[in-house]
Amino acid sequence: MTTKTILLVEDNPQDEMLIMRVLRKVNLANRVDVARDGQQALDYLFREGEFAGRPGPDLPTIVILDINLPRVNGLEVLERLRADPRTELVPIVMLTSSDEDRDRLRSYESGANSFVRKPLDFGEFAETVARLGVYWLAVNEPPAGEP
């Protein structure tokens, strides 16, 4: 059985707990790993620094990436992932509270697969995260699939 992993890049611990809760409930991913800033996300994906020997598949099935992040912000993480052949194809969903047109535009220009705004209301937020999980883990065919 394929291991489906989500990398959640989220610096707000409460949003992290709520997202984890929703993902647990839809029961799709075998594991959800969390990076709490942009640098951690890069280290995780490139298996560097504190993540040098991390277990699990090379790449997660999906990266859920916030934009406003400490150290390296989400848009820069996105650009660095797309510039590297190891990560250029990994599906990336931007999940952000930003409603700025230029953030959305720049995300798509930089190769994001999707841009999702965090709804203010928690009910909608939970539904959005659940749908996002179902779509990217169960519906979407990933670039590097089973042969």
Maximum C-alpha span of the chain: 41
For the bound state, the minimum distance from the C-beta of residue 98 to another protein, rounded and expressed in Å, comes to: 8
Binding another protein (rule: CB under 8 A), the pick from 53, 55, 85, 123 is 123
Residues 17-76 that bind another protein (CB under 8 A): 18, 21
The alpha-helical segments, DSSP class H, found in the chain are 13-26, 38-45, 74-82, 101-109, 122-134
- φ/ψ of 129, rounded to 5, equals -65, -40
CA 71 vs. chain centroid, Å, equals 17
Residue 111, Ramachandran bin (φ over 0: left; ψ between -120 and 50: alpha; else beta):
left
**Closest CB to another protein among 18 and 28?**
18
Site string for another protein, 75-114 (x = CB under 8 A): ----------------------x-x---------------
List contacts with another protein (CB under 8 A). Answer: 12, 14-15, 18, 21, 97, 99, 118, 120-123, 125-126
